[in-house]
């Protein structure tokens, strides 16, 4: 191989990535779907946060930073679809490495987070993390091919690229997004819709008596331990779901065991745990079919109602 050919190869690689990142950056600014925008938001903070919210789609449906901003509290919502302890680990790490530590972190602990229904890694949110955390994740998983793919913002990662293009061109709906909160629509007022929703949820765990995964609890414990060492105040919350999911153990068969495990973990590290499915403040909300878009997700109206309840609870405990 001649020196001239080597120079051409190097020049091609440089030009490829310059063009790739220019096009990818443009598409992302105008067309990113809400989950990817939430990850990118980690790197756009200029002020110390009062509260960082961390969770799954339950969190991005339930906690609206605009409600907290009305009380002059600076917050962002790091809720991601299907997220669980694996996603939480890397998202919190990335945030703390690139920002001043928030005064408080409120982290979701939902029943589903500790089953195989969480942390759907095929969604590819790690692509939008900084290169250091991307590398840490892919090396831990020994997934070197995915790491190389993640270096490209367009051609090498076609699924995410074309998803962003579809949003930009209007082929895919771009949900209203506000610092991580998603303005979701829909209700479960229709009896048929609600029944199908409940049936789907029932089928999640009915054939697996060991669906709560110990490795997920271990990952969550490591998160809490790390935050404790950093001196960050933490509140663990189980966000409100439609009341039947909690009152009929057919839907969450190991509910009692789950709550006890989370409560014990919170006590171990000296943190508060608030189960909003067992507090009087959420009794009316949890029975109001107009405030849920599915049996385990609030819609944006429900998110507004719950955000006020959460704000009040935090004020009472401070």
- Whole-prediction pTM value? 0.88
pLDDT at 114: 97
Q: Greater confidence, 125 or 310?
A: 310
**What is the average pLDDT across 134-155?**
79
pLDDT at 21: 82
CB–CB of 155/15 below 8 Å?
A: no
CB–CB of 2/126 below 8 Å?
A: no
Residue 35's nearest CA partner among 180, 186, 149 is: 180
Beta-strand ranges (E) seen in 1-74 are: 51-55
Residues 68, 309, 102: CA angle, nearest 5 degrees: 40
What backbone torsions phi and psi does residue 117 show, to the nearest 5 degrees? -80, -10
For residue 92, give Cα distances in angstroms to 29, 32, 58, 192, 251: 23, 21, 17, 39, 30
pLDDT at 318: 65
Q: Which two tokens stand for residue 164?
A: 């962003």
Bridge partners for 238 per DSSP: 275
3-317 sits in which CATH class? Answer: alpha beta
Q: How confident is the model at residue 160 (pLDDT cuts 50, 70, 90)?
A: low
Q: Greater confidence, 144 or 201?
A: 201
Q: Is 74 a residue whose pLDDT tops 90?
A: yes
pLDDT tens digits for range 242-285: 999 989 999 999 999 999 999 999 999 999 999 999 999 999 99
pLDDT at 142: 81
pLDDT at 118: 93
């Amino acid at each position: 191989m001649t020196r001239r050919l080597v120079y051409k190869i190097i020049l091609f690689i440089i030009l490829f990535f310059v063009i790739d990142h220019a096009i990818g950056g443009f598409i992302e600014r105008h067309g990113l779907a809400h989950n990817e925008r939430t990850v990118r938001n980690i790197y756009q903070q200029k002020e110390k946060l009062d509260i960082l919210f961390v969770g799954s789609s339950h969190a991005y449906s339930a906690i609206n930073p605009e409600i907290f901003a009305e009380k002059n509290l600076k917050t962002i919502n790091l809720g991601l679809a299907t997220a669980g302890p694996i996603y939480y680990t890397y998202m919190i790490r990335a945030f703390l490495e690139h920002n001043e530590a928030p005064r408080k972190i409120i982290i979701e602990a939902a029943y589903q987070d500790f089953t195989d229904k969480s942390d759907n890694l095929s969604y590819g949110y790690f692509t939008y993390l900084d290169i250091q955390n991307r590398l840490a994740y892919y090396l831990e998983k020994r997934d070197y091919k995915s790491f190389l793919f993640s270096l490209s913002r367009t051609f090498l990662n076609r699924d995410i690229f074309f998803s962003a293009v579809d949003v930009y061109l209007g082929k895919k709906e771009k949900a209203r997004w506000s610092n991580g909160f998603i303005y979701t629509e829909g209700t479960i007022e229709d009896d048929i819709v609600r029944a199908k929703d409940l049936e789907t949820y029932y089928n999640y765990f009915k054939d697996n008596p060991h669906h709560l995964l110990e490795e997920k609890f271990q990952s969550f414990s490591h998160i809490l331990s790390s935050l404790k060492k950093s001196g960050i105040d933490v509140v663990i919350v189980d966000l409100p779901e439609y009341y039947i999911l909690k009152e009929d153990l057919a839907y969450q068969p190991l509910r009692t065991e789950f709550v006890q495990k989370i409560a014990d973990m919170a006590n171990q590290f000296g943190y508060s745990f608030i189960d909003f499915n067992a507090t009087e403040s959420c009794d009316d909300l949890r029975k109001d079919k107009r405030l849920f878009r599915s049996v385990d997700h609030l819609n944006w109206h429900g998110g507004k109602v719950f955000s006020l309840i959460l704000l009040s609870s935090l004020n009472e405990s401070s």
